[in-house]
Amino acid sequence: MKFQVLSSDLMSHLSAISRVLVSKNSMPILENFLFEVGDDTLTVTASDGDITMIATIAISDVDGTGRFVAPPKTLLDPLKELPQQMIKFVVDPENLETYVYYANGHFNFIAGNADEYPTLKPLQEESNSFSMSAPSLLSGITSTIFAVAEDDFRPVMTGIYLDVKPESCTFVASDSKKLVRLISNGINSNITASFILPKKPANLLKGILSKDMADVQIAFDDKRAQFQFGDYQLNCVLVEGKYPRYESVIPKNNNNRMIIDRQSCINTLRRISVFASQSSNLVKFDIDKDQLIISAADADFSISAQEKLACSYADTPMQIGFRANFLIEILNTMPSGDVEFRLAEPFRACLVLPIENNENEDLLMLIMPMQLADFNG
């Protein structure tokens, strides 16, 4: 079995799907790539059992078809050192000894038999399907993934909730201390359904999707989801369970509004939070007419800091505490230059919104305040 492939094409596709693989898998064969050589395409699969990524790569000068498995390190390490060129694979069908020829050299290894590689289960016949643009899916994931819960105490919170309607898809993530909701309009759907995408496949999609890709075809049933885009397909097991009623925690009457430059606020928070308590990371916002004072203190080390920022504010003066790193995460994800804080009282949830949304998007973020009783600034 022989074929030729462009080294950069093979390297980029293998590198993308290799992030699925885990070492010491309970099924050792899943520690390898599955190569399937067709008449003019090479299909390479990587799987950890729950997530499967498939890449399709154009090949030429094919002589024979077949399947074999190959260890990722044996291929990725030499390929990343090669300049772009056509390389030739020659695989002995009897013992699977594999030679890879490139300009002025070659390397060889023994491939593995692919017979025991598990077959990907198809979705159920009654599965749902829709399409949305790659930039919209990428934005939905990027805007929400940082708010996904890290612990397994409530498994349904460990993924991104996608609520699909005929003309929109709502992305939601929350760890109970912060919440993000992004409504993406203008999608191509004739369904009303939802699913919870786990964090790992969401991160894989985030790493491989690009703004210049075309539409992503998405299909899902009550157990699995499939994403088809460009040269790739991602299949994953979904988080089971019913997502909480997130709408009920979004306040409707936060009438105190502060508008501030997003980047200036981030920079100030980074400076001031150095002096915050290491355990709480608490910073205090002292908001008055057109002025915000951000302060922090750590009594254990006798350190403190304070900084003034200009803002637009004409409502009730207020002092409110936030966890600095959570607020920085929220502000870093905002698309606009200015952001709006909508506040009610120091102990009630605060909304953070961009002054200008991306086209066809409606982004809302929520952060729970911290008590100022122990603040020593």
Question: What single letter denotes the amino acid at residue 29?
Answer: I
**The two domains 2-110 and 128-246 share their CATH topology (first three levels equal):** yes
In degrees, rounded to 5, the angle at the alpha carbon of residue 270 between the alpha carbons of residues 205 and 211 is 25
pLDDT of 36: 98
**SS3 (DSSP) at 73:** helix
What are the tokens at 151? 């612990």
CA distance 351 to 313: 15
Q: Where are the domains of the chain?
A: 2-110, 128-246, 250-367
CA distance 42 to 55: 8
User: Which CATH fold topology does 2-110 show?
Assistant: DNA Polymerase III; Chain A, domain 2 (3.10.150)
Using the structure block, give the residue that is written with the tokens 């982004």.
363
pLDDT of 199: 97
Cβ pair 350, 371 in contact under 8 A = no
CA distance 122 to 331: 40
Report DSSP state, residue 96.
-
Question: Any residues with CB less than 8 A from the CB of 146 and at least 6 apart, and which?
Answer: 173, 180, 329, 333
Query: 128-246 domain in CATH 3.10.150.10?
Result: yes
Which residue, among 272, 247, 279, 245, has the nearest Cα to 327 in the 3D structure? 272
Cα-trace Rg, the chain = 25
Give tens-digit pLDDT for 241-273. 999 999 999 999 999 999 999 999 999 999 999
pLDDT of 376: 63
pTM reported for the whole predicted model = 0.93
CA distance 243 to 160: 10
What are the tokens at 63? 């002589």
Give tens-digit pLDDT for 175-194. 999 999 999 998 878 899 99
Q: What is the CATH number of domain 250-367?
A: 3.10.150.10
- Per-residue model confidence as pLDDT tens for the chain (377 residues): 999 999 999 999 999 999 999 988 999 999 999 999 999 999 999 999 999 999 999 999 999 999 999 999 999 999 999 999 999 999 999 999 999 999 999 999 999 999 999 999 999 988 999 999 999 999 999 999 999 999 778 899 999 999 999 999 999 999 999 999 999 998 878 899 999 999 999 999 999 998 778 899 999 999 999 999 999 999 999 999 999 999 999 999 999 999 999 999 999 999 999 999 999 999 999 999 999 999 999 988 999 999 999 999 999 999 999 999 999 999 999 998 999 999 999 999 999 999 999 999 999 999 999 998 766 65
